[in-house]
Amino acid sequence: MTAVFRHELRMMFSSLTAYVYGMFSLLAVAIYMMYYNLSVGYANFEYALAGASFALLIMIPIITMRIIAEEKKQKTDQLLYSLPISTTQVVVGKFLAVFVTSVIPLVIVSVYPVILKNYGNLYLPTAFGALFGYIMLTAALLSIGIFISSITESQPMAAGICFAAMILNYYMVTLAEYALSSAYGSFVALLVIEVLLALLVRHMTGNDLLAEGLGGVAMVATVAAYIYNSDWFEGLFPAILEKLSVYERFYEFVDGVFDYTHVVYFISVIVFFLFLTVQSLEKRRYN
């Protein structure tokens, strides 16, 4: 795992990837800090981090698009399978490499609230709590990006799908509230999600019977619940999306709420998508 970590880190800094990511990261925080803290005069550095989180929609695809997709395209992933380490160690090594690359600019950012403290009534615990939440948000989005990179051999396609996933995650609560807040809208949305999950299970396992069985049971249960009491579905889909959205959890840190359940949630998202990445690589390995 250490060898994979060092190799990926070396690849990041021998190309423009790490430097472009660092430039975007520092620039985004600096722009929002100048607006909120220097221009408007808010003594809340966490507002700058909340604004800069939008830039992750572009930065995450940049840093994750080649991490596995390029290996598959060049057929060098076959070399990874011959290493005396497990697929899990390979994936974790790659994840740690991109995570460290993304954290390095934030080490510089951590100095900003200390400097601002000397010129205003900045509350450092809230500022650093939001910075911690920003790091956890970045790690969760990186795990999603790595998984997307593992399901395609094309870097542009990986970047495009990842960007779409980031956009969806950023706006999905707002979109759901406008379009799917009714009971019928929530019902239809849940059925669509169950179909997509069944397709994902089929892609990951190659087992049609398992995918159809899980999808069929979930859809029958949803239909039965809707027939029994449709009021249960009123506003259900937006509420589910709000609970699942990593951005909504991050905004809790911005509001000064340090809830350990949010930390557990971020870790769960990271583990879940790294697990899916391992399964994706294992499927290719045995095929």
Q: What is the DSSP letter of 152?
A: -
Tokens standing for residue 275: 């697990």
Instruction: Find the mean pLDDT for residues 37-63.
Output: 86
Query: Is the per-residue pLDDT at 90 higher than 60?
Result: yes
Contact between 281 and 68 under an 8 Å Cβ cutoff? The reply is: yes
Please report which confidence band the pLDDT of residue 205 belongs to, taking 50, 70 and 90 as the band edges.
low
pTM of the predicted model over 0.75: yes
Q: Which position has the token pair 């350990």?
A: 260
> Does residue 107 or residue 70 have the better pLDDT?
107
Contact between 252 and 130 under an 8 Å Cβ cutoff? The reply is: no
Q: Which of 164, 167, 166, 157 is nearest to 69 (CA)?
A: 157
Query: Is the per-residue pLDDT at 287 higher than 60?
Result: no
How far out from the chain centre does Cα 220 lie? 30
